[in-house]
């Protein structure tokens, strides 16, 4: 039987946003389907969860997002055609995505904020711990960021959020945590503020979209009043959680890319292309050409 601080088997990926920051690309294509080189961003996020031992992905979705569900299904027409043409390798690339995980999607019918999106997953998560991964944050690391957090959760029997240090002039872009350092990387959180002004920030430790939470968060979210932007904020729900249970912040190892931002997206594209043995030499030539 699953228990509050048992094994983490499920992850919630909120993907209901309109993606207006990336218009016109997102007019007809869900922003989660935009690729970094040739892999849609949502697949990179799902791969991180799967590499952390997650089996069930709960996708919080919205109207016009069917392409995401199709991506994680089989595409019989493409796969069968490739096999008949003797291109079994390519057919396998397509099939492998279909086999990756169990995808359960839930519609968030009204955009009421990230906290509300996570609360929509309650009927599927039930009384189990779960991970949350936000799609605009790509984290490249040897041990997947979510796996680092799952290990802390299972060892400490406490909810944990991933954090990274940001410059003072960037705290207003993130949920910021404050509390007592237990070790150089681990903090006992006392306070969380969503997108504070620099002078109001309890620290410079920001949450870039990775969480492993006990199901108590659902009750906390139900009691959370609309906050910043009139939305139910996950950060505000986490403040209630920190008052009821232990909530930790872990400074993860890895490089984070903000792919919701145009320059962050270009940065991630170049970095991921340079990591590919088949592409790196060509990409270096292209960069040299453009930089003169």
Question: Under the rule (CB under 6 A), what is the footprint of ligand G1P?
Answer: 114, 134, 136-137, 174-175, 194, 206-209, 233-235
Shortest Cβ distance from residue 45 to ligand G1P (Å)? 12
Q: Which is nearer to ligand G1P, 127 or 172 (CB)?
A: 172
Q: What tokens does 143 get? A: 């041990």
Q: Which is nearer to ligand G1P, 24 or 229 (CB)?
A: 229
Shortest Cβ distance from residue 113 to ligand G1P (Å)? 8
Shortest Cβ distance from residue 121 to ligand G1P (Å)? 16
Q: 67: which residues sit within 8 A by CB, 6+ positions away?
A: 29, 30, 33
Nearest to ligand G1P by Cβ — which residue? 175
| Ramachandran angles phi, psi of 5, nearest 5° | -115, 30
Q: Which is nearer to ligand G1P, 229 or 292 (CB)?
A: 229
Cα 253 to Cα 174, 175, 177, distances in angstroms: 18, 19, 18
CA 254 centroid distance within chain = 14
Shortest Cβ distance from residue 17 to ligand G1P (Å)? 7
Q: Which is nearer to ligand G1P, 144 or 209 (CB)?
A: 209
Shortest Cβ distance from residue 19 to ligand G1P (Å)? 11
- Three-class SS of residue 45? helix
Following CA atoms 225, 229, 232, 238 in sequence, which dihedral angle do they give, to the nearest 10 degrees? -90
DSSP label of 154: H
Q: Which is nearer to ligand G1P, 49 or 207 (CB)?
A: 207
User: From the CB of residue 242, how many other CB atoms can be counted at a distance below 10 Å?
Assistant: 22
Shortest Cβ distance from residue 260 to ligand G1P (Å)? 6
For helices 280-291 and 262-274, the axis angle rounded to 10 degrees is: 130
Q: Which is nearer to ligand G1P, 17 or 40 (CB)?
A: 17
């Amino acid at each position: 039987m699953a228990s509050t601080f048992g094994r983490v088997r499920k992850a919630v990926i909120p993907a209901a946003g309109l993606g207006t920051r990336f218009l016109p690309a997102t007019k007809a294509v869900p922003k989660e389907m935009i690729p970094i080189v040739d892999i849609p961003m949502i697949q990179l996020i799902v791969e991180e969860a799967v590499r952390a031992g997650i089996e069930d992905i709960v996708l919080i979705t919205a109207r016009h997002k069917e392409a995401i569900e199709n991506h994680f299904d089989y595409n019989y027409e493409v796969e069968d055609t490739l096999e008949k043409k003797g291109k079994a390798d390519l057919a396998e690339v397509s099939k492998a995505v279909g086999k990756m995980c169990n995808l359960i999607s839930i519609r968030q019918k009204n955009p009421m904020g990230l906290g509300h999106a996570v609360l929509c997953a309650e009927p599927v998560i039930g009384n189990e711990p779960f991970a949350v991964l936000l799609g605009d944050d790509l984290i490249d690391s040897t041990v997947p960021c979510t796996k680092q957090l799952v290990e802390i959760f299972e060892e400490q029997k406490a909810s944990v959020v991933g954090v990274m240090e940001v410059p003072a002039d960037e705290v207003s872009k993130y949920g910021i945590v404050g509390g007592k350092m237990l070790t150089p990387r681990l903090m006992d959180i006392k306070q969380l503020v969503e997108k504070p002004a620099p002078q109001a920030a309890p620290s410079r430790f920001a949450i870039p979209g990775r969480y492993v939470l006990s199901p108590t968060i659902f009750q906390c979210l139900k009691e959370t009043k609309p906050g910043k932007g009139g939305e139910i904020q996950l950060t505000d729900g986490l403040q209630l959680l920190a008052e009821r249970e232990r909530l930790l912040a872990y400074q993860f190892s890895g490089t984070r890319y903000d792919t919701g931002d145009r320059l962050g997206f270009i940065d991630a594209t170049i970095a991921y292309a340079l990591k590919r043995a088949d592409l790196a030499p060509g990409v270096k030539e292209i960069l040299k050409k453009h930089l003169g």
